[in-house]
Amino acid sequence: MIQIIPAIDIIDGKCVRLSQGDYSQKKTYFENPLEVAKMFEDAGLKRLHLVDLDGAKNKKITNAKVLENIASKTKLTIDFGGGVQSEEDIRLAFDCGAAQVTGGSVAVKKPEMFDKWLSQYGGDRIILGADARNEKIAVSGWEEDSGVWVYEFIENWLKKGIKYTISTDVAKDGLLQGPSFDLYKKIQDQFPELNIIASGGVSSMKDLEELAEMNIYGVIVGKAIYEGRISLNEISKRFL
């Protein structure tokens, strides 16, 4: 069964969403992220994708207190990303209650450090962030294109022990126009052993059904829930 993973993105301690990673296209949905996390937990969801957007921009964890608050006051299994770019950051993330940490920019820009994290914490706790624009890896809160092909990038880290990847098609994110099924199919065909978590563009239950039929490991849902396109009740009935 596909894992349905709701998303909370944080700017200034508040729950927001961006469109295509553009900080100027910000919409605030809730002042208190903990309330949102509890709403997900109450609906029966077990996991949470928590992103520190300030951290992604600042290149260091900025909203650790939000992570700590949610981790200590819910039972959600949290994967955390955004600004985790140093030894201090990754220790802070795990100390504050993250079950898993997602690294994208660091895997491109500081591969030796990311490799060390994989050795230290293992492939179950470190998720590879493989966010792509035109099939090339985008980094630093998607503000930079790395020029690295997503497939080469994944292959390199798969050899080093990665088991999970979150892949967002930046062109789709926050637009509610459907996920990048083609991208996920290509990744899946090349790396059948990889646990792929799809992210970006989910707009309806039909999208979730289609990803489930593809046997994708998981899918992150954010804006579609906040905009009322998909209800937590529907998710509970179909997928939990």
What letters, b where the CB count within 10 A reaches 16 and e where it falls short, cover 128-143? bbbbbbeebbbbbbbe
Annotation marks residue 79 as catalytic: no
Give the closest residue to 174 by CA, choosing from 147, 142, 148: 142
Q: Give me the count of residues in the chain.
A: 240
In whole angstroms, give the CA distance from residue 167 to residue 129.
6
Question: CA Rg, the chain, in Å?
Answer: 16
Whether the CB-CB separation of 239 and 4 falls below 8 Å is answered with: yes
> Which residues are CB-neighbours of 88 under 8 A, at least 6 positions away?
none
Selected catalytic residue, list 9, 89, 169, 173: 9
Helix intervals (H) in the chain: 33-42, 53-58, 64-73, 87-95, 105-109, 111-121, 150-159, 181-190, 205-213, 223-226, 232-239
Selected catalytic residue, list 52, 54, 131, 173: 131
- CB-neighbour burial class of residue 179 (10 A; exposed 0-12, middle 13-18, buried 19+): buried
In whole angstroms, give the CA distance from residue 164 to residue 236.
24
Q: Residue type for 205, please? A: M
- Among all residues, which ones are annotated catalytic? 9, 131
